[in-house]
Amino acid sequence: MTASLMNGKAVAQAMREEMKQEVQKLQSAGVQPGLAVVIVGEDPASQVYVNSKHKTCLELGYYSEVHRLPEDTTQEHLLELVGTLNAQSNIHGILVQLPLPKHIEEKAIIDAIAVEKDVDGFHPMSVGNMIIGDDSLLPCTPAGVIELLKRYDVEIAGKHAVVIGRSNIVGKPVSLLLQREHATVTMCHSRTANMKELTKQADILVVAIGKANFVDRSFVKPGAVVIDVGVNRLDNGKLAGDVHFDDVSEISSLLTPVPGGVGPLTITMLMQNTLKAAKRIHNLG
């Protein structure tokens, strides 16, 4: 079997077109969605994401602020900026790019973001609401994975989904959202014994570990749907996923490429969260 590509870039583009009308509606009610992105330090990969978020804001007609702070920014200063953005009426979404420099406690910063502006969905209150199943801003990459599966008509209910990775940003929340869609979910991580025995049972395999080309066909059941969340920069400057694309594509039914798979959905879900936050803050449904 040769896999069909799940074209995240095309799905993201279609979603953005759909969103433009909603943005216009909001604008005619006098509201322009506003997103603030804060980045501390010079990590080149982070700079790329931040620029791409800014570009998407402009494309959709959002107000966008990017705060680039030096590596030696103090925690107090960053908390002060978050406080200012919390109070700023033209900002509906706040994203502080992770990871932060070691001298800043990430938890303190995330906790300080106003929950109604937490477009990353990382605040403990957002996470709690997600677990309970209450309405909340969902973390962007996990929400993007679910959206991609739905847009490709992949049945989730009753299927066995296996997730490799258990980070707060990807692995844990994507497992939870798959379970919410009625999958039976197995979570794997670096201490999982006999991982291949588990992954070979997966109807849907989600990989988020951060190791280039780690998953080859020996992990995959023939016909499985494989979602590659990994984004790894190789020495030659190219991007690679956590999944060995050419090898796995010969055995899976659907597979996401890197780049052009989950990444574009992440940014689109961030835009959707910002839109949702703006509507809520202004009581517009």
Ligand X SMILES: Nc1nc(=O)c2c([nH]1)NC[C@@H]1CN(c3ccc(C(=O)N[C@@H](CCC(=O)O)C(=O)O)cc3)C=[N+]21
Q: Which is nearer to ligand X, 61 or 259 (CB)?
A: 259
Q: How far is the CB of 133 from ligand X (least distance, A)?
A: 22
171 binds ligand NDP, rule: CB under 6 A: yes
102 binds ligand NDP, rule: CB under 6 A: no
Name the one range near ligand NDP by CB under 6 A: 32-40, 108-116, 122-130, 224-232: 224-232
Name the one range near ligand X by CB under 6 A: 27-35, 172-180, 193-201, 256-264: 256-264
Query: Which long-range contacts link 101-110 to residues 24+ away (Cβ below 8 Å)?
Result: 101/40, 101/41, 101/71, 101/72, 101/73, 103/74, 103/75, 104/40, 104/73, 104/74, 104/75, 104/78, 105/75, 108/75, 108/79, 109/75, 109/78, 109/79, 109/82
Is residue 167 part of an annotated ligand binding site?
A: yes
- Torsion from C-alpha of 149, 5, 59, 123, nearest 10 degrees: 40
61 binds ligand X, rule: CB under 6 A: no
Q: Which is nearer to ligand NDP, 38 or 209 (CB)?
A: 209
Give the C-alpha separation, 24 to 28, whole Å: 6
Q: Is 93 helix (H, G, I), strand (E, B) or coil?
A: strand
258 binds ligand X, rule: CB under 6 A: yes
Name the one range near ligand NDP by CB under 6 A: 58-66, 67-75, 112-120, 228-236: 228-236
Is residue 166 part of an annotated ligand binding site?
A: yes
263 binds ligand NDP, rule: CB under 6 A: yes
19 binds ligand X, rule: CB under 6 A: no
**What stretches of 154-261 show up as alpha helix (H) in DSSP?**
171-180, 195-199, 245-249
Give the C-alpha separation, 235 to 131, whole Å: 39
Give the C-alpha separation, 114 to 122, whole Å: 11
Q: Could you tell me whether strands 232-233 and 239-240 are parallel, antiparallel, or unpaired per DSSP bridges?
A: antiparallel
Does residue 179 have an active-site annotation?
A: no
Does residue 120 have an active-site annotation?
A: yes
Is residue 31 part of an annotated ligand binding site?
A: no
Residues 21, 27, 107, 120: which is the catalytic one?
120
Residues noted as catalytic: 53, 97, 120
> Could you list the residues that contact ligand NDP (CB under 6 A)?
141, 164-167, 169-171, 188-191, 208-211, 229-232, 262-263, 266
